[in-house]
Amino acid sequence: MPELPEVETISRNLSNGTKVAPSVVGKTITGAEVFWSGTLEIPDPVVFKKLIIGQKIKSVGRRAKYLVFTLSEDFLLVHLRMSGDLIVGPAGESLANHVRLSLELDQEWQLAFNNPRKFGRIWLLDDPTTRFENLGPEPLDPTLTADKFYKRLQSRKRQIKPLLLDQSFIAGMGNIYTDEALNLAQIHPLERADRISADLAERLLESIRQVLAEGIRRNGASIDWVYQGGDFQNYFRVYQRTGEPCPTCGTPVQRTVVGQRSTHFCPSCQVIA
């Protein structure tokens, strides 16, 4: 599943444009086609087309793993989930094999939602607040201080790996960047959150921010999903590097399963206190 850096990269590409496609910001939605009705959570396809045609895209941003399109009247939310991607190309052309929804822009371009496994979803809302009310803070938000992060950890008795994956605790983290951050901070994935010291909590927050920033700088990671825009996979510390040397101490990286998620760590650097 695309995580925070991948979603952030897509958001920036849609906002700024790429070598092959312009920015969608400022363009008016002049047409809409829903090829699979299950793509839409809210509203139904008929209402969706009626409401969205004629609206202008004012900005594209991100909240957690959601792409957020601020329109002239409403908000379009897109969650890519396992295999979703957004592609900009000339109107009327076939841009991918599994396009579930397409928006015509200025009668010249189109924004296509390619979603092979059909897990991705789209919402058109007049207010996105209720959709985001159960999300935790953004890890890159400067208002999330080390002290606030430590207090959040102290209030939880869960293992740290599943906790970091919980979007209500901190928004945007996924399997890749959680493994990378825990290794960089030298914290075992099974360590209990409330047993992490204030100093270690600060180091963990710094590590989370460091791996996310590096992921964004490298346009995310391209592994086994439709998103193929980045090269952070070439710089992983431990994720999917089972048996390879830990970059800190050289001990072979081990793989285990935590909360039904494949987990990679160094048994020497990352020990339970």
Q: Which residues are catalytic?
A: 2-3, 65, 261
Q: What is the dihedral of CA 230, 119, 160, 179, to 10 degrees?
A: -20
Q: 174, 191, 179: which is closest to 82 by C-alpha?
A: 174
What is the rounded distance in angstroms from the CA atom of residue 99 to the CA atom of residue 111?
10
Q: Which two tokens stand for residue 230?
A: 């980045």
Asked if residue 67 lies in contact with residue 60, where contact means CB atoms within 8 angstroms, the answer is yes
Q: How far apart (Å, rounded) are the C-alpha atoms in residues 193 and 238?
A: 21
